[in-house]
C-alpha cells in the first residue's frame, strides 16, 4: 500500500470522522479513514447505475396510474389559478 499525506479542511475531517464512526458502529470493528473513504467511493460508483436497471421495479395497477395522473392534473390546475 502506498501512503500519501493529504490536506483537508477541519469541516471535512470532522465529517469523515463521523462517517468512520458510523461505519464502525454498523460493522462492529475498527474503521480507518481509508476504509471510510473506500466505502464512500464505492457508494458513489453504485449511485451511477444505468437508469434502465430500474425499469419495471415500480409496479402499479392501471387504476393507481389513473389516480396518480389525475392528481397531477388537479395540482397543476390549482397552481395555475394562483398565478
CB 32 within 8 A of CB 45: no
Average pLDDT over every residue of 48-61: 76
Query: Is 23 a residue whose pLDDT tops 90?
Result: yes
Domain count, the chain: 1
Query: Is 43 a residue whose pLDDT tops 90?
Result: no
State which residues form the domain around 34.
Answer: 10-82
CB 23 within 8 A of CB 43: no
18, 58, 54: which is closest to 26 by C-alpha? 18
The answer to whether position 1 is within a domain reads no
Grid cell locating 8: 483537508
The answer to whether position 14 is within a domain reads yes
The answer to whether position 2 is within a domain reads no
What band does 55 get if pLDDT is binned at 50, 70 and 90?
Answer: confident
Q: Which residues make Cβ contacts (< 8 Å) with residue 61, sequence separation at least 6?
A: none
Amino acid at each position: 500500500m502506498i501512503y500519501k499525506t493529504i490536506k483537508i479542511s477541519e469541516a471535512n475531517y470532522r465529517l469523515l470522522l463521523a462517517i468512520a464512526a458510523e461505519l464502525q458502529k454498523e460493522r462492529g470493528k475498527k474503521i480507518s479513514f481509508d476504509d471510510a473513504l473506500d466505502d464512500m467511493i464505492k457508494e458513489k460508483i453504485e449511485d451511477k447505475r444505468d437508469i434502465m436497471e430500474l425499469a419495471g421495479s415500480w409496479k402499479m395497477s392501471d387504476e393507481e396510474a389513473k389516480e396518480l395522473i389525475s392528481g397531477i392534473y388537479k395540482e397543476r390546475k390549482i397552481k395555475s389559478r394562483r398565478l
